[in-house]
A = this chain, B = another copy of it.
Amino acid sequence: MKNTKPLNSEVATLADVAQIACVSTATVSRCLNNPVQVSDKTRQRVMKAVTTLNYSPNFGARALAAKRTNTYGAIIPTMENAIFARGLQAFEQVLVSRGATMLVASSSYDPQIEEDQIRTLIARGADGLLLIGRDREPAVYRFLRERNVPFVIAWTSATAPETSHVGFDNLAASRALAARAIGLGHRQIGFISAGLNFNDRARDRVEGVRLAMRDHGLDSNCMPIIETRYSIACGRAAMAAIMTDHPETTLVMCGNDVLAVGAVQGAHLLGLRVPDDVSITGFDDIELATIIRPALTTVHVPHHTMGTMAAETLLEMVREGATARQIVLETSIVERESLSAPGMKPLSRPA
C-alpha cells in the first residue's frame, strides 16, 4: 500500500530530505556532491533537513549511480607482521582523512590467493588498489588494465614506467649493507631468505649481496642460501642448517628482521656468540630489531612514509586522473650490535 513515500519508515533517503527542504532530489544531491552549484539559501535549508533527518547516503545506490565507491583495497601478504601493519595503518589514515575507507585482504604470500583477492576487491567496487611487490602473472596485470582500475605497487622500486610505484630499492639497500660487511672483512657469507618465488623483494635482497660480493672480487656462487618460511622458528632452524653445513661462515645475512631474530636465537642455541663468533644482519628495522640482544644491524625502511605516499598517490590517480608515478624512498643502514668485523673463532666449537 505504500507507494508515494514511506513517511518515517526505516532510514531517510534523498527524497525525504528533498521533501522536507522543499527542493528536488537533484538539488539535494548537488548540495552533497557539488555544493558550489547551489545557492547559499537553499543549501542551508537542505543541510538543515539533512541533519534533522540524520540522513546518510545509501552506499549501494551511490555506487550504482556514480560508479565510484570511495573505497580502496589493500592486499598484503600478511597482517601478522609489523612491517605491513605499519604501512597499512599509515595508508588507512590518509584514506580516512580524505573521506575514503579501506578494504583489506591478505594473501599469505600465495600468488593465486592474491589474484583471487584482486578480483574480489575489484568486484566489490574498489576504486583503486594497493599491491605489494611487482611479481605477478601477466594475466593479472592485463586484468587490472582492462578493468581500468588504478593501482600502486609498494615495497619495491619501479620497473615499468606505466605503473605507479611507491617503494625503495631492495637490491641497492642490500648491496650497501653487504658492502659494509665485506669492508669489515667478511668473506664467508650465508643468506637466509624468505621464499624467492613470486617475491621480487626477497630476490632483490639476495641479488644485492651477490653483486656486492662480485664488486669486491668474491665468488658469489658459493654463498649458501636457505630459503624458508617467514617466522622466527624458521630463522632458527635455517641458522642451524647453515652453520652445520658451512661452519666457516662469519656472517649470516637475513632477508628480514624476523628471520634475523630467529638466526640470533639459533646462533645462541649452537653456542655461538653474536657478533663475536658470527655476525648477523636483518632487513626492515622493525621494533623487534631493537629488542633482541644483540640489537640487529639492519636496513631501515620508511614504512610509515611509504604507506602515506602510496595512499596519496593512489588518491590522486583515482580522483584527479593523475598518471603513473614512481617514488623511490631512501633506506639507510642502522648499525647496532649484531655486525662486527669477523673475530677469532674458538678452535673447537661446541656441537
Contacts and interface: CB of A to CB of B under 8 A. Distances in A.
A80 B82 CA distance: 6
A336 interface: no
Interface stretch (A176-184, A287-295, A343-351): A287-295
Contacts of A81: 85
A101 interface: yes
A11 to B, nearest CB: 7
Given A59-B69, A59-B123, A261-B291, A96 B105 contact: yes
A71 B104 contact: no
Interface stretch (A15-23, A86-94, A274-282): A86-94
Interface string A115-140: 00101111111000000000000000
Contact of A60 (B11, B56, B63, B117): B63
A89 B80 contact: yes
Interface in A87-117: 88-89, 92-93, 96, 101-106, 117
A232 interface: yes
Interface string A52-64: 0000111111111
Given A64-B64, A232-B291, A292-B292, 19 more contacts: A11-B147, A56-B123, A57-B123, A59-B63, A59-B69, A59-B124, A60-B62, A60-B65, A60-B69, A63-B63, A71-B124, A79-B86, A93-B106, A102-B105, A103-B103, A232-B287, A288-B288, A291-B291, A291-B292
Interface in A1-53: 11
Interface in A60-78: 60-65, 67, 69, 71, 78
Contacts of A85: 79-81, 85
A58 B122 CA distance: 10
Contacts of A104: 92, 102-104
A169 to B, nearest CB: 25
B105 A101 contact: yes
Which of A122, A125, A232, A291 neighbours the largest number of chain B CB atoms within 10 Å of its CB?
A: A291
Given A232-B287, A291-B292, A106 B92 contact: yes
Interface string A182-217: 000000000000000000000000000000000000
A286 to B, nearest CB: 10
Nearest to A65: B60
A92 B78 CA distance: 11
A62 B78 CA distance: 29
Contact of A59 (B80, B82, B101, B125): B125
Nearest to A104: B104
Interface in A254-295: 261, 287-288, 291-293
